[in-house]
A and B are shown apart, each in its own frame.
Chain A
């Protein structure tokens, strides 16, 4: 590693870990990790001031490779751990990396309640439409009719929309982007990190080796081209009819509001007690 020209990304990686990383060729997780690192580098955050928490899954291998405070926890339970860290150390920037199955199926309850509490955590959901690491079972975001190893004749379940779920549950920053739009991802993650409150960024990513192979969607480049050709920015959707929008990925910031944050609410509550104790003395 010593002899190659180093970029920002290489400075934040843990070079004592095994490289090349564990992800398959063409997987979007690496691209997204690059976008996250560039966003953090542009904001000039201190490395020790960032905690990255993840559950189990392909995308949840991400904290292993980056040089921040990291925590690799139970399947679906990254958000409870992150909530604990944030409550104990409110000055830490807590980033949660989860996959689609991790966030919406196994940790679905934790996800909606973290949204409801509006605690200042940035959650990045990498949606690759399948459980990649465990062998290709269908997940709540596998499109209806698509194949997985547990639905060899096509999936009959309707799809979960992560952004609508987060908005309905009360998250205060909700955005969607794709792994192909790396600069846009970087920009949205920057805004999400600066936002005070629970922020959810859904990154639509490609799983060429399992989802792409089972559904004949081609390799990594073909799936990225699909993202490029089938996604529309939020502004452009105003002029489009519902028929035109069918099958398109709408990307952009859907919701950005300011509400009372959970740590602040807790601090307010505790300050009342302190006042009373001081009055007694």
Chain B
């Protein structure tokens, strides 16, 4: 079985199991203090249905997917603030920031 790995915000490499737990911590931090310089895209996980449209159409592939299918910002520095994910999200769950 191939284990999917993903990077957390501070560059730590995560594997399948612990990614979700760390992500939850990240969300609560984000809710209290929204900083667009750190994360160009804000994802509202309570409304997300994990359809994958934002990940598929991101022109610079800066969004990644968790093992359960939910998106997260994999490479914040790659974002070009085009707001494609914002426009195409059917659930209004993703908010792209203007530069």
Q: Which residues of A contact B (CB under 8 A)?
A: 3-7, 9-10, 13, 19-21, 23-31, 34-35, 180, 182-183, 208, 219-221, 224-225
Contacts beyond the supplied A6-B95, A34-B90, A182-B88: 15 A-B pairs with Cβ under 8 Å: A3-B31, A3-B32, A3-B34, A5-B97, A20-B46, A20-B48, A25-B51, A25-B90, A30-B92, A34-B87, A182-B87, A219-B52, A220-B53, A221-B51, A221-B53
Tell me whether B86 and A183 are in contact (CB under 8 A): no
Give me 10 A-to-B residue pairs in the complex whose CB atoms sit less than 8 angstroms apart, sorted by A's number.
Answer: A5-B34, A6-B95, A7-B86, A21-B91, A26-B53, A29-B90, A180-B88, A182-B88, A219-B51, A224-B57
Q: A7-B95, A10-B92, A27-B90 are in contact. Are A19 and B47 (CB under 8 A)?
A: yes
Tell me whether A220 and B95 are in contact (CB under 8 A): no
Tell me whether A183 and B87 are in contact (CB under 8 A): yes
In the assembly, what is the distance between CA of A18 and CA of B97, in Å?
26
Tell me whether B49 and A25 are in contact (CB under 8 A): yes
Q: Is the interface of A mostly helix, strand, loop or mixed?
A: loop
What residue of chain A has the Cβ atom nearest to residue B48's Cβ? A20
Tell me whether B89 and A225 are in contact (CB under 8 A): no
Tell me whether A31 and B51 are in contact (CB under 8 A): no
Tell me whether B86 and A31 are in contact (CB under 8 A): no
Shortest A143–chain B CB gap in Å is: 23
Tell me whether B46 and A25 are in contact (CB under 8 A): no
Number of interface residues of B (CB under 8 A): 27
In the assembly, what is the distance between CA of A19 and CA of B92, in Å?
10
Shortest A170–chain B CB gap in Å is: 33
In the assembly, what is the distance between CA of A30 and CA of B53, in Å?
12
Q: A30-B89, A183-B87, A224-B56 are in contact. Are A20 and B97 (CB under 8 A)?
A: no
In the assembly, what is the distance between CA of A5 and CA of B56, in Å?
23
B32-65 contacts to A (CB < 8 Å): 32, 34, 36, 42, 44, 46-53, 55-57
Chain A residues with CB below 8 A from B19, complex form: none
Tell me whether B52 and A221 are in contact (CB under 8 A): yes
Shortest A126–chain B CB gap in Å is: 12
What residue of chain B has the Cβ atom nearest to residue A182's Cβ? B87
Tell me whether A20 and B56 are in contact (CB under 8 A): no
In the assembly, what is the distance between CA of A224 and CA of B84, in Å?
13
Tell me whether B90 and A31 are in contact (CB under 8 A): yes
Tell me whether B92 and A221 are in contact (CB under 8 A): no
Chain B residues with CB below 8 A from A7, complex form: 86, 95
Chain A residues with CB below 8 A from B55, complex form: 221
In the assembly, what is the distance between CA of A19 and CA of B48, in Å?
10
Chain A residues with CB below 8 A from B20, complex form: none
In the assembly, what is the distance between CA of A10 and CA of B94, in Å?
11
Chain A residues with CB below 8 A from B86, complex form: 7
Which one of A208, A221, A225 has the highest number of Cβ atoms from chain B below 10 Å of its Cβ? A221
Shortest A186–chain B CB gap in Å is: 8
In the assembly, what is the distance between CA of A226 and CA of B89, in Å?
17
Shortest A222–chain B CB gap in Å is: 8
What residue of chain A has the Cβ atom nearest to residue B46's Cβ? A20
What residue of chain A has the Cβ atom nearest to residue B93's Cβ? A20
Chain A residues with CB below 8 A from B50, complex form: 25
Q: A219-B52, A224-B57 are in contact. Are A5 and B42 (CB under 8 A)?
A: yes
In the assembly, what is the distance between CA of A30 and CA of B86, in Å?
11
In the assembly, what is the distance between CA of A68 and CA of B87, in Å?
21
In the assembly, what is the distance between CA of A13 and CA of B97, in Å?
19
